[in-house]
Chain A
Amino acid sequence: MSKKEKNLSNLMWVEKYRPSTLNEVINQTDIVRALHKLVNIPSELPHLLFAGPPGVGKTTVAVCIARQLLGEQWRRDTLELNASDERGIKMVRERVKEFAAVMKLVTEDKEKSFRIIILDEADEMTSEAQTALRRIIEDSSKTTRFIIICNYLSQIIAPLQSRCVVFRFVQLAREELVGYLKTICQLENVRFEDKALSQIYDATTGDLRHSINILQAAAGMGSVTMSNVIAARGLSGKSKVGEIIKLALSGRFTDARVKLLELINVYGLSETDFLKYANQEAYTMKLDYPDQFAAIMAEYDYRLSVGAHPEIQLAALLAQLGKLGSKENREPKY
């Protein structure tokens, strides 16, 4: 491990306790067992496709595989791409293709040696880009292994699915997550309430990385109590999106826009994540017209994908929510 990485893990438990080998992965036992077998015969390793909810270890497992197969040099021989940052066909043509092409020259004479491309959040890729990827996978399969990661398998085109072995990661069970958080608390000498750990599970619906971040922030406030967990969860971008939705529903259009501009410009929130979080947060708000809320969200999800000005579409969405909120004819319940 490089020096800088060690320092980030000193600071953040989520990095400190991130498994670096498959043996250290405690959940997804069936998948890990199967992967162990594959990793032992590197020459027969197929392309892999990991699907499942956020924060269950898909990327971590992918990095573990890269590290175990490629050894010390894994960083040099691994290309990590996140389609949520660059989702178009340009990314596939320029970065993936280039990496695949260069590596042939470097590794041609070595035998088992190949490189790995980890393509994260692949369901964010346009179908155009996925189609382009299909050919590249074929052309470079002698020297390259792909690990494609997504939340929703249905958004990956069939020809890509058929070129990979699919692993479906499952959501962490409550006991599993609470047990894991407890272990960390003991190792870090932190006082905690059992109820508070269970509450972290509710707050993150089993997203382990978000859970560990909440745990550490709550611990920083003294100990892991219910109220500290609530406060710690409030720090997240997800909660801030929830606040934006509440402001919009109560007709405070400009206040909602200010917060949204901050999230997008400072914290780099993508429009897709905004919609995702908004929907999750609204689910907990007990609206009078959840169906109409969903219909508005669906409409603007579509308009964002077709339109050219995301800023205009998002502002129009907030204004529509204001209209819905006034229809509820009172302050919405939170």
Chain B
Amino acid sequence: MAYSDKVMDHYSNPRNVGSLNKADSHVGTGMVGAPACGDVMKLQIQVSDTGVIEDAKFKTFGCGSAIASSSLATEMLKGKTLDQATEIKNSDIAEELALPPVKIHCSVLAEDAIKAAIDDYKSKQGA
């Protein structure tokens, strides 16, 4: 299957790969996976006291589309407020990367990871 230029760009030159300190109260960690294909995705956000996402990192074990989806997700997250970040939909990612129908689930995984990271951050703040 041929990947789109945008997928290839993110795949060969992924943005924001790495880890943030999981124990930091400003950091939210989202870990999601798809058992059928064995993909695992970790996405982390660092949130300022004013509720703005200052940094985002990811690490994904999976196909090119899964890596590109999470790479793009971290780019989209930076600079957004938590409320704006909640608005990011998998279709935004799929459209931007021109994902074929069989790879839409990769963008769904990225959306789930964003939501999981935000939830984790919020539960840390509430605790």
Pairing of A with B: no
